[in-house]
């Protein structure tokens, strides 16, 4: 079925509004950079700085909001910046730490079913208020399955991957401390594959995530999942359309910095 015209329009308007707001507020750094300015030109360097700030905006605003628009269009329950509360008892905390060490050392292989079983065996029911709220980028409920999704950069290093794995297990424990039989899936998502058309095979992810279970969603797999449909190519078309509209506005804005 793909993207409905109304959904395309919402995503397009989100991109345009976000970039235009950033463009309107953008002021180039006042730091003197005589070599850079002479080599590249003030306008090009200012544009480069602006592009870097757009990378930040994509991560903090556009990815999450686009996913929310797609999920709502699919009829799913969805919430950005979801507050996850609960309490992790000592036995579960120790089990998670030991498991992550074993994964890092290659002693064990990641199996999502085993992780859930391990945590269910050790976790204890606890009052909601005992643990401070933790924020999940995207909560998505499809049928009875609860999905807690961390949207991350496309190239985490080894340390960051270990941190992400630990976080996913802690989120699992927090949720199960409130409802031990909850049907849940904790995932990390990357909005695009930087190695496309080759598969994502960054060595730092090795032996930490159960990719066969969908614990990692990369590029098309992520967008198609939250939309419940094959929408990735159409989504790229919307970003292309936004780029075509904005290109002249951006060029005109930065021509004044020459």
Q: What is the Cα gyration radius of the chain? A: 21
For residue 80, the model assigns a pLDDT of 95
The answer to whether residues 192 and 219 touch, using CB atoms and an 8 Å cutoff, is yes
pLDDT category at 47 given cuts 50, 70, 90 is: confident
The alpha-helical segments, DSSP class H, found in 88-157 are 90-104, 112-122
For residue 33, the model assigns a pLDDT of 77
Residues with Cβ within 8 Å of 11's Cβ and at least 6 positions away in sequence, in order, are: 3, 66, 69, 70, 235, 238
For residue 223, the model assigns a pLDDT of 98
For residue 95, the model assigns a pLDDT of 97
* The pLDDT of residue 258 is above 60: no
**pLDDT tens digits, one per residue of 174-220:** 999 999 999 999 999 999 998 888 888 776 666 889 988 999 999 99
For residue 102, the model assigns a pLDDT of 93
For residue 200, the model assigns a pLDDT of 83
- Classified as helix, coil or strand, 219 is coil
Angle between helices 63-73 and 5-25 (to 10 degrees): 160
Per-chain mean pLDDT for the chain: 88
For residue 9, the model assigns a pLDDT of 97
**pLDDT tens digits, one per residue of 98-137:** 999 999 888 999 999 999 999 999 999 887 765 665 899 9
């Amino acid at each position: 079925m793909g993207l409905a015209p109304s959904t395309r329009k919402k995503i397009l308007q989100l991109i345009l509004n976000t970039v235009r707001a950033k463009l309107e507020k953008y002021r180039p750094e006042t730091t003197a950079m005589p070599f850079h300015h002479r080599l590249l030109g003030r306008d090009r360097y200012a544009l480069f700085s602006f592009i870097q700030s757009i990378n930040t905006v994509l991560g903090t605003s556009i990815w999450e909001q686009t996913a929310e628009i797609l999920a709502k269009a699919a009829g799913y329950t969805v919430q950005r910046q979801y507050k996850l509360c609960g309490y992790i008892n000592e036995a579960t905390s120790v089990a998670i730490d030991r498991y992550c060490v074993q994964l890092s050392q290659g002693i064990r292989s990641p199996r999502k079913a085993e992780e859930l079983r391990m945590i269910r065996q050790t976790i204890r029911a606890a009052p909601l208020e005992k643990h401070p709220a933790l924020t999940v980028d995207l909560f998505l409920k499809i049928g009875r399955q609860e999905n807690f999704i961390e949207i991350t950069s496309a190239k985490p290093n080894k340390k960051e991957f270990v941190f992400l794995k630990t976080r996913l297990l802690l989120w699992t424990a927090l949720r199960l401390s409130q409802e031990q039989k909850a049907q849940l899936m904790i995932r990390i998502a990357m909005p695009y594959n930087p190695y496309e058309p080759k598969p994502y095979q960054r060595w730092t992810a090795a032996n930490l995530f159960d990719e066969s279970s969908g614990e990692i969603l990369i590029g098309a797999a992520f967008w198609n999942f939250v939309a419940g449909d094959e929408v990735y190519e159409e989504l790229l078309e919307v970003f292309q359309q936004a780029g075509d509209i904005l290109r002249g506005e951006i060029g005109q804005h930065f021509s004044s910095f020459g």
